[in-house]
Each structure stands twice: as structure tokens, then as C-alpha cells.
Amino acid sequence: MAKKTKKEEVIDLSEFNVEQLEKKLSEAMEEEDDDMIAKISAEKEKRENRKELVKRKFVSLQGYKDKMSITDAKYKPQSWIDMSSAFKDATKLPGIPECAVVVCGGLPDSGKSTVAIEAAAYAQKQGILPVFIITENKFSFERAETMGVDFDDSAIVHNGVKTIEEGCNYIKKLLDDQESGELDYDLLFIWDSVGSTPSAAELAKREDDNNSRGMMETARVLREQIGRYLSHRVNNTRNESYKRNATLLIVNQAYTAPPDFAGGQPKLVFYGGGGITYSASLIMQMGGVKSASSKITAIKDGTEISFAIRTKISILKNHITNISSTSAKIICCDHGFLQDDKKVIEDYKKSTKDGWDLNFDAKYWDGLAEL
């Protein structure tokens, strides 16, 4: 004889998902609960009718989409620019994501440019063309060549960019040429650094006693030119309708801001306002909040030589993978990144010490502070 559902048991089947509904049906069938079986069958039929109704309601939509030439966007699988094992171990990322805006910021001498140069060297190995937009006079082309970048045949360099507008217009022109097929390469734009690049208005007002209006104009230009326009152009290259990929790696300066309240902690603030950080898919911070890095030294011929620095790399924003945030120490040397491992550091020291007087300028490390 069939069992009946207990009167006191009140179950709202509308709250059940498909899996829960099927499980409940199996239980009811095992218990020979005819009332529950009937209720579940009725709920399933109601959902099927609702689904069919929605389908019929939009049956003419495809015709309208065809008329308006509306097609569903299809995207390429996420691709990556490879990086060193040290970088990948520290960030838990496969490298630098393509078709995205990536920001790398931090205090001076924290390893920001090393990220950019290493990305360029690995990009060339993958057939990706690095495009350097250089505004900092201290960018070392010699060090970039030591790390493997070929500036003769496999890179484009726009050196001495004076304003943000100039840099953005240059990127726009190359994106146009890429889209037309005239520049038939995947592109990695590297801007070093946005934080040291003024807007045209700020440059014109730098001789004024009060330059706050010029700085506000710089933030506005960054928000409109990079935060809205360039990020949109770069992100769109992941669409299957684009033959080539474009990636924008922004190196940005930062400063330590005082706490917001008494007893609070200082914080690191990137230059240029939120326009860049909002549009970025990945944000990396190099170094700490109060200091950039610490020197790693050795004695050669009675002289202390700084042959590397220990810094920190942190992921502050990640809209590419499911890893929300990571932070790890990493070694930055003249040849790129190394794992923060005693044996790795010792092996590197032994292999390079004969050339220290040529490869390392002690003045380069003078500004480095202890973590």
C-alpha cells in the first residue's frame, strides 16, 4: 500500500534546483510517496511549460538580430606571455595575460621595470612584437639587452614621450595599423612609466606656483584615454573577429600616503587616480608600502658589491584567473628574476661575480632601502 506524505511536512518545491528536485523524486519513489511524486511531477511540468513559453516569446528575436547584423561575441581562449619560473612561482600566474591592460606599480627601485623587460624578452620568443613607450630617462637599454631583448630587429621604441596624449595617440596609431593588417603582429605595449608622464595641461602649468589644476587634468586624461578608450581597444582584441592580439603593460609609480586615521596604517597609492586601476584586468605591486627592497651583497676584492635586491611582488587585482591575491618575495638581478632561494642566489653569485665590475653600477643600488 502506498505511503502518504506527512501532513506536517510542508515543502516549497519552487525553491529546489533541478538536481535537488531529482533527488527528492528518487526519495519519494523509494518511499512510495504518491503525493510527493505527484507534486514533484507537477512542479517539473510547470517548469517545462514556463521554459517553452519563454522560448516562444523570443522566437522572432533571431530574425531581428539577423536584420540588424547582431552576432553573439565569440572570444579566443585566454593566452599568456610566458615569464620566468621565479615570476610564475611568486604570482601563481602562467605569465602576463594577453588582450588585457596590466598595471605594475610600486616605489622607486622595487623591480617594476624588470617585470616589463622580462615580459618583452619572453614576448619576442613567442613572436610577439614589444612596443616600448619610454618616458623615464633612467630606462636602461643595456640591461634590457642583457635580459634578452632585441632592439635591432624585433622591437619598436618610442623614446622621450613628453605627454600622456602623445603616448596614447601613438598606441592608437599602432592599433589602427594592426587592425588594418599593415602591422601584422601580436603587440605588447610597454609604457614606462605613466606616473612620470604629464598631460599637456600639466606640462604647460608646471611653471605655475599652483599646479593642482594641471594634475587634475592629468587624472582626467588618464581616465578618458586609457581607462575608457585604450582599455576598450585592447580588451576587444580577444574577440575572434580580431586576427591579432594586443596587450598593454603599464609601469606606474607610487607613493606612500599617510594613514586615513590616527593609529591606521600607511598605504601605497598609484599616481594618476583610479582611471587606470579601474580599467586594468591585472594589477601587480612591487615592493612594500614603506620601502622598495633590500640589497643582497657580497665582497669582491675587499669591496662590498650589491649584485641583486630582494623585493616583493603582490597581486592586488586579478580578473583573469580565480586566484584573488598572492604576495611573495622574489630576487631581482641584472639578468631578471630569481627564486628567493639560498642555493639559487649562491649559484647566481658564483656565475656572475667575474663580471660585476662591468654589469653592476654601485650607484644604481644606492637608493635602495631595507624592507
Q: What is the DSSP string of 244-305?
A: S-EEEEEEEEEEEEPPSSTT---EEEETTTHHHHHH-SEEEEES-SS---EEEEEEETTEEE
pLDDT at res. 364: 39
**Residue 255 or residue 291, greater confidence:** 255
Taking residues 150-162, what's their average pLDDT?
93
pLDDT at res. 70: 65
* Strand pairing category for 282-286 and 101-106: parallel
Taking residues 259-269, what's their average pLDDT?
83
- Residue 291: pLDDT above 80? no
The counts of H helices and E strands in the chain are 13, 13
Is the separation of the CB atoms in 283 and 105 below 8 Å?
A: yes
pLDDT digits (tens, 9 = 90+) for 171-181: 999 999 999 99
**Residue 69 or residue 133, greater confidence:** 133
pLDDT at res. 178: 98
Taking residues 13-20, what's their average pLDDT?
80
- Residue 328: pLDDT above 70? yes
Q: What are phi and psi of 127, to 5 degrees?
A: 80, 15
pLDDT at res. 304: 85
- Residue 370: pLDDT above 60? no
pLDDT at res. 171: 97
pLDDT digits (tens, 9 = 90+) for 42-66: 888 888 888 777 777 776 666 777 7
- Residue 132: pLDDT above 50? yes
pLDDT at res. 204: 81
CATH 3.40.50.300: does it fit domain 80-365? yes
Is the separation of the CB atoms in 359 and 352 below 8 Å?
A: yes
Give the span between the Cα atoms of 22 and 16, in whole angstroms. Answer: 9
Average per-residue pLDDT in the chain?
85
Taking residues 82-111, what's their average pLDDT?
96
Q: How confident is the model at residue 349 (pLDDT cuts 50, 70, 90)?
A: very high
Taking residues 286-313, what's their average pLDDT?
87
Instruction: Report domain extents, the chain.
Output: 13-67, 80-365
Lowest-pLDDT range of 117-126, 167-176, 349-358, 360-369 = 360-369
Taking residues 1-19, what's their average pLDDT?
63
**Terminal CA-CA length for the chain:** 78
